[in-house]
Amino acid sequence: MRFLPCFFLLTVAFAPAWAGGLADPFDTEAMAPLKPSPRLAARVGEAPCATALPATALTAVDAVDLALCNHPQTREVWASARVQAALVGVAQGGWLPSLDASAGATRFQNENNPFTRTSAALTLSWLLVDFGQRSANVENARQLLNAAAATQDATVQTLFLAALQTYYAAQATQAAVVSANEAERAAGESYRAADARYAVGVATPADRLQAQTALSQATLNRIRAEGEARNALGALANALGFAAQQRIVLAELPAAPADTVFQKEVDALIGEAQARRPDLRAAEAQLKAAEAGVDLARAQGRPTLSLAAGPSWQESAGVITQGNSIGLSLNVPLFAGFDTAYRVRSAAAQAEVRAAQRDRIKNQVALDVWRAYQSLTTATQSLKTTADLVASAEQSAKVALGRYKAGVGTVLDLLTAQSALAGARLQRIQAQLDWNVYRATLAQAIGALDYSLLQPAAEGRP
């Protein structure tokens, strides 16, 4: 029995190297995509994942960083991609031999000569030829990894867009509060003018009451705007992974860009989207994986040739025998209840499903780009028109107030002009919100939504 301790010592010593002591022999971690936050394609330099609000006012970049870092879905898709990367390693392991150790001891009890029989063996097994089974399995795993990486990109862009929409909405509600305060101030000035004219007997009580009603309405609008702003900040805090009551200070709403022209035609944008959209790339990879699955199903019905070799030891009643063996094994599947035929049918049908899904997503990509392009076109035109609208409304309100104070205008003209000004300012705020959101939406529809969108606009970029 002297060989048994040595046998087990060798087995224990070398087993970790084969069974997982080498952390990543196929370097599958390098195959997996990068963690989705905070580094995206256009972000320069490595940055630690943000977990707390910045000391300064929150910018759009800060909001995106926090959303990507704190949202559970980013961790979920990254972990899923790493799972698939590890499965590529599993598939590649099929090309390597396997080494198994076995040992046993049997006690024979009889009246004359009880004895113990012990045995041990090492067996090396290596699949030499399988007519494409392992190749198809590796290709299937690699394409599924590509699909997982593309799905991660799509998820990141979706979360990116959601964070921007929430941030821009919060900025818009704060701008609406400023506009409501300005409308309340103007309504107060109108009321004081009407009250002064009434006090000297040159205005009717109706003028004073109308002005007072307008002031009360303006105050009510300001209160509502402040409530909506608080709700928007709560929604933003929640989207960033904080409690709704978390205090957030937003950066100032940026001025509308002087040049809002984007040069690319919609056909070119659709073509770019079909080349870049991560969900379409994921569908293409799923289709290729399904096609590799067809090859795998066919190969599973073909012969295999394997090599087996290894030493063996046995001790029985004091007699030790040792031996070595080596041999080739040819396995030819003849009939398995039509298993292979139906597996091929199933795999081929699955490939048809994936092809149909790819075509459906391709059509949806074109529709997404078309809608986003038209929405951005409308928002761009609205942005220019509302600038003119606010300018003319401000001038009209100023003239109406001057005429009323001079006694040549009516209070109804004044209140109408101030109401039009308040409405024009709100439309201007909505136009700015729409332009920012639809610009990001078009970038996401193209598959190009990243931090470059938050940099100064460049010619030709939506």
In terms of C-beta density within 10 A (0-12 exposed, 13-18 middle, 19 or more buried), how is residue 442 classed?
Answer: buried
Digit-coded pLDDT (tens) for 198-248: 898 888 899 999 999 999 999 999 999 999 999 999 999 999 989 999 999
CATH number of the domain bearing residue 393? 1.20.1600.10
Instruction: Specify if 14 maps to a domain.
Output: no
Q: How, if at all, do strands 115-129 and 304-316 pair?
A: antiparallel
Digit-coded pLDDT (tens) for 398-437: 999 999 988 888 999 999 999 999 999 999 999 999 999 9
Instruction: Specify if 209 maps to a domain.
Output: yes
pLDDT for 4: 43
pLDDT band at 265 (very low <50, low <70, confident <90, very high): confident
Rounded Cα distance between 24 and 32, Å, is 12
Instruction: Kindly report the number of other CB atoms within 10 A of residue 172's CB atom.
Output: 21
The residue among 265, 264, 256, 339 whose CA lies nearest residue 297 is 339
pLDDT at 14 over 70: no
pLDDT at 261 over 80: no
pLDDT for 6: 47
pLDDT band at 43 (very low <50, low <70, confident <90, very high): very low
Sheet with 98-108, edge to edge strand ranges: 98-108, 115-129, 304-316, 319-331
Per residue, the 3-state secondary structure of the chain, as one string, reads: CCHHHHHHHHHHHHHHHHHCCCCCCCCHHHHCCCCCCCCCCCCCCCCCCCCCCCCCCECHHHHHHHHHHHCHHHHHHHHHHHHHHHHHHHHHHHHCCEEEEEEEEEEECCCCCCEEEEEEEEEEEEEEECCCHHHHHHHHHHHHHHHHHHHHHHHHHHHHHHHHHHHHHHHHHHHHHHHHHHHHHHHHHHHHHHHHHHHCCCCCHHHHHHHHHHHHHHHHHHHHHHHHHHHHHHHHHHHCCCCCCCCCCECCCCCCCCCCCCCCCHHHHHHHHHHHCHHHHHHHHHHHHHHHHHHHHHHCCCCEEEEEEEEEEEEECCEEEEEEEEEEEEECCCCCCCHHHHHHHHHHHHHHHHHHHHHHHHHHHHHHHHHHHHHHHHHHHHHHHHHHHHHHHHHHHHHHHHHHHHCCCCHHHHHHHHHHHHHHHHHHHHHHHHHHHHHHHHHHHHCCCCHHHHCCCCCCCC
Are residues 379 and 435 in contact, defined by beta-carbon separation less than 8 angstroms? yes
pLDDT for 456: 55
The residue among 297, 307, 288, 311 whose CA lies nearest residue 123 is 311
Are residues 346 and 300 in contact, defined by beta-carbon separation less than 8 angstroms? no
Digit-coded pLDDT (tens) for 275-296: 999 999 999 999 999 999 999 9
Digit-coded pLDDT (tens) for 55-86: 899 999 889 988 888 888 888 998 999 999 99
pLDDT for 8: 43
pLDDT band at 32 (very low <50, low <70, confident <90, very high): confident
What total of structural domains would you count in the chain?
A: 1
In terms of C-beta density within 10 A (0-12 exposed, 13-18 middle, 19 or more buried), how is residue 144 classed?
Answer: buried
Digit-coded pLDDT (tens) for 145-163: 999 999 999 999 999 999 9
Instruction: Specify if 314 maps to a domain.
Output: no
Greater confidence (209 vs 16) lies with 209
Rounded Cα distance between 250 and 242, Å, is 15
Q: Using a pLDDT cut of 70, give the percent of the chain over it.
A: 89
Digit-coded pLDDT (tens) for 83-122: 999 999 999 999 999 999 999 988 877 777 777 889 999 9
Average of per-residue pLDDT values in the chain: 87
Are residues 137 and 94 in contact, defined by beta-carbon separation less than 8 angstroms? yes
Instruction: Specify if 377 maps to a domain.
Output: yes
Domain residues for 211?
54-98+131-302+339-454
Single-letter amino acid code for the residue at 222: R
Largest CA distance in the chain: 138
The residue among 285, 260, 280 whose CA lies nearest residue 446 is 280
pLDDT band at 29 (very low <50, low <70, confident <90, very high): confident
The residue among 294, 251, 256, 253 whose CA lies nearest residue 139 is 294
pLDDT for 234: 96
Instruction: Specify if 64 maps to a domain.
Output: yes
Instruction: Specify if 45 maps to a domain.
Output: no
Instruction: Specify if 437 maps to a domain.
Output: yes
pLDDT for 42: 41
In terms of C-beta density within 10 A (0-12 exposed, 13-18 middle, 19 or more buried), how is residue 296 classed?
Answer: buried
Instruction: Specify if 9 maps to a domain.
Output: no
Are residues 64 and 37 in contact, defined by beta-carbon separation less than 8 angstroms? no
Digit-coded pLDDT (tens) for 296-314: 999 999 999 999 999 999 9
